[in-house]
Structures are given as C-alpha cells and as structure tokens.
Amino acid sequence: MTRFILIQTSHPGNVGATARAMKVMGFSELVLVKPRFADVLSQEETVAMASGAADILVRARIVETLEEALDGVTFACATAMTPRDFGPPVREPRALFGELAASPHKVGLVFGSERYGMSNEDVYRCHAVLSIPTHPDYGSLNLAQAVQLLAYDWRQALGGFSVAPRTDEPNFADAKAVQGLLQHLQSSLEAIGYLNPAAPKKLIPRLNQLFNRAGLTSEEVHIFRGIARAMVEAPRSPHAKPGASLTASED
C-alpha cells in the first residue's frame, strides 16, 4: 500500500489535481495534514481539478499532525527542493523506488505546503528525502506536478501498467494492390504528360520504394487510385466539383 500525504496545503486545486494524479497511477490513499481550508475536500475547485477522481477525495482523511498521518507507514519519503545539513539521506526517486519496490514496506510520500515546503521537524520524521532531478537553474515544481512525477516513478518501480493494444489494427495492402496502384499512377502520369513513356527513368521504382516504406493500407491505396483517376478526368471535366471522383471504387 502507498499513502500520499499533503502538509498544510493552501490551494484547493492542488488537492484535486493530486487526487487525479494518484488515480491515474492506481493509488487511492490520501491524507491531508491541517490544510488551510477545513472543507477543502468538497470545495468546487478541488472537485473540478480532480476530474473524475472524486472517489479519492471521498475516502481522503484530514488529520492535525504528520505523526497521525504517518500512522501505519513503515517508510516515509519526504520531498524537498534543498537538502538539509542534518537529517535523512537525500535520494534520487527512481533509485530509491527500485529498492523499496522489492521490500514489504508501506510507503508514505510526504509533500510540504506550496509556500514553505516541509519544515525540518517534518523532514526528520522521514526515512529519506526525495530530490526530483531538475534543471539546475530552476527547480521549482508545482505541488500537483511533483505528486504526478513521483506517482509515475513509483508505479513504474512497482511494475507499471501495460499499454492497451490497438483494437483497430491497420489493414495493410498486399504487394499485388501496390503494384496495381503503381500501374494506375504510371498510366495517369503519362496521360497528363508528367511521365515520358519512352524514358520513364526511375520514377515508378522510386514510388514503389516510397510506398513500401510507408506501409500503405488498403484504404490508402484506394485514395491514391482515386487521385490518379482524377488527374486524368479533371481536364475533360472542367466544371466537376473537386474530389468528386475520389470515392469511386477501384476494380
């Protein structure tokens, strides 16, 4: 189990965005330590920013102290922009998460307030300080952004989620269909005077290679053949609407 803990959060939107970030990564336990607004979990901005993760807000708890929030947590990770001279070791998230994923610990990810971060006293209660690698000239992250980054890295360390396979697999054209297209294009290009049949050079073989690299689908072959047909028909039908023949089927 994993618990996300926000200390003295001042902006309702960040609470809602945190809930969304958690749900996207498959986490559900949220605890707020003395937030600025007692009704923050039900405020309009909070619910709006949660965007479908209202169930996280419904189950969230509000407590008075970090000590209460850490009850049951066996490894607490503080988040801080600057390392302390004294206190728990500072670790890069992915390296530490790789170790924690192989352990039986109940992990708590602790985030400070938007304005002041975490106090030294709160950091000292944690087992490690997570420092998200950022550009050295500007390392300021929005609270919800930090939650999303760490939630993603922690989920990846736990095994991640598989990417859903496509349900609309492309219907690739076979070699015969591509050759039929090339013959059609050649005759149309000759008809409009673009290709000299006496000296075709390497245009058609080059188009053949182009189509092979592109991996044309059957639908795309029909589109190109419609274009080839329109090239020949257009001069004979100056008043025809553009694209009128592009949907015609090809025998």
Nearest partner of 30 among 65, 71, 2, judged by Cα: 2
CATH code for position 100: 3.40.1280.10
The residue segments making up the domain with residue 232 are 175-236
Q: pLDDT tens-digit profile of 122-141?
A: 999 999 999 888 888 887 88
Enter the tokens of residue 46.
Answer: 């909070």
Q: pLDDT tens-digit profile of 40-76?
A: 999 999 999 999 999 999 999 999 999 999 999 999 9
Model confidence, pTM: 0.70
Q: H/E/C letters for each residue in 149-182?
A: HHHHHHHHHCCCCCCCCCCCCCCECCHHHHHHHH
**Residue 203 belongs to a domain:** yes
Phi, psi (deg, nearest 5) at residue 233: -80, -30
- Do residues 132 and 222 both lie within one domain? no
Q: pLDDT tens-digit profile of 161-176?
A: 988 776 777 899 999 9
Q: pLDDT tens-digit profile of 201-231?
A: 899 999 999 999 999 999 999 999 999 999 8
**Residue 91 belongs to a domain:** yes
- Do residues 119 and 195 both lie within one domain? no
In three-state secondary structure terms, 58 is helix
- Do residues 117 and 38 both lie within one domain? yes
Q: What is the pLDDT of residue 239?
A: 53
CATH code for position 228: 1.10.8
Q: pLDDT tens-digit profile of 185-204?
A: 999 999 998 989 888 789 99
In the chain, how many domains are there?
Answer: 2
Q: At residue 148, what is the residue type?
A: Q
- Do residues 23 and 69 both lie within one domain? yes
pLDDT (average), residues 89-110 = 95
pLDDT (average), residues 23-34 = 97
Q: What percentage of residues in the chain have a pLDDT greater than 70?
A: 91
Containing 130, the helix (H) or strand (E) segment is: strand 128-130
